[in-house]
Amino acid sequence: MGTRASDRSRQEVARALLVFGEELDAIEANRLSTVLTINEPANDLLVNDPWGFLCGVICDYQMPADRAWATPYNLSQRLGGWSVELVASRPMEVRRAFLGPPAIHRFPNQTSGFVIDGARRVIDSYDGDASNVWADEPTARDLQRRLIEFKGISQKKAAMAVEILYAQLGVPIREMEGSDIAYDVHVRRVMLRSGLAERDDVAHMVEVARALHPERPGALDLPMWEIGRTWCHKSAPDCDSCVIAQSCPRLVSAADGVRGA
């Protein structure tokens, strides 16, 4: 069990995280387009095609995010086109396209299965249009539930997708107080080292975020993820450069047991 900071210290950390989150939102607002991967054509597909985005969420695991998010575009290049119908109707081609060589995902067999299943689900449950997953202005909680029904989308990815759709892609989503942080390795490290959470447990961390920022718990997600990726490294965290250095108690060893990608 780790150490949980005092309520006051935790509130200070949460405030610092939200300030950093606003800075990240301002950077995002000044960009011409949302950037989910540095690969430009791959990013265009994610940002402009709902099935591309949904497929990107499904593929975003066990690989560096830039490469994982480029999977839908790489798949479209190998298939010579892009639609849910194409993916659902040509499963063998999709599996071969994933395998390559080179493979377009670290787990080509499993991920191609998730993607084919996702395309079929969009056809069967959402009239073949992935935007219908979120087009009816759902509540954050309902949308998270719908996303988790897709194979390959966990709590972590569903919570992340709700935040991206709402904050970066401008999708109307109601009751963002029902949004959540994603149980991601970067988020977990920051929560433990900053004393926000006392144990590495998804339910506990989700509850901590809900209590700290009930208006929109998910708003704490991106700043923690960015801090984890940029400064709060697994080994040798760069505390002196970290944006929450002034408020963080720097409980570095509290995250020693955090594993995962």
Residues in the site for ligand SF4, rule: CB under 6 A? 190, 193-194, 227, 231-232, 237, 239, 242, 244-245, 248, 250, 252
Biggest CA-to-CA distance, the chain: 56
Beta bridge partners of residue 1, listed in sequence order: none
Quick one: DSSP state of residue 164? Answer: I
Question: Is the peptide bond preceding residue 102 cis, with omega within 30 degrees of 0?
Answer: yes
CB closer to ligand SF4, 60 vs 226: 226
- Give the residue with the Cβ less far from ligand SF4, 59 or 182: 182
Give 71 or 194: the residue with its C-beta nearer to ligand SF4: 194
| Nearest distance from C-beta of residue 12 to ligand SF4, angstroms | 12
CB 137 → ligand SF4: shortest distance, Å? 35
Among 17, 10, 8, 11, smallest CA distance to 224 is for: 17
Q: Please identify, using beta-carbon distances, which residue of 16 and 206 lies nearer to ligand SF4.
A: 16
The residue among 38 and 245 lying less far from ligand SF4, judged by its C-beta, is 245
Q: How far is the CB of 38 from ligand SF4 (least distance, A)?
A: 24
The β-bridge partners of 139 are: 174
Q: How far is the CB of 77 from ligand SF4 (least distance, A)?
A: 38
The string of DSSP letters for 48-68 reads H-HHHHHHHHHH-SSS-HHHH
Q: Indicate the residue among 106 and 229 with the shorter CB distance to ligand SF4.
A: 229
Q: How far is the CB of 260 from ligand SF4 (least distance, A)?
A: 17
> CA-based Rg of the chain, rounded to a whole angstrom?
19
Q: What 3-state class would DSSP assign to 38?
A: coil
User: Which phi and psi angles does 20 have, rounded to 5°?
Assistant: -65, -40
Q: Of 214, 142, 229, 132, give the one whose Cα is nearest residue 181.
A: 214
Least CB distance from residue 138 to ligand SF4, whole Å?
A: 33
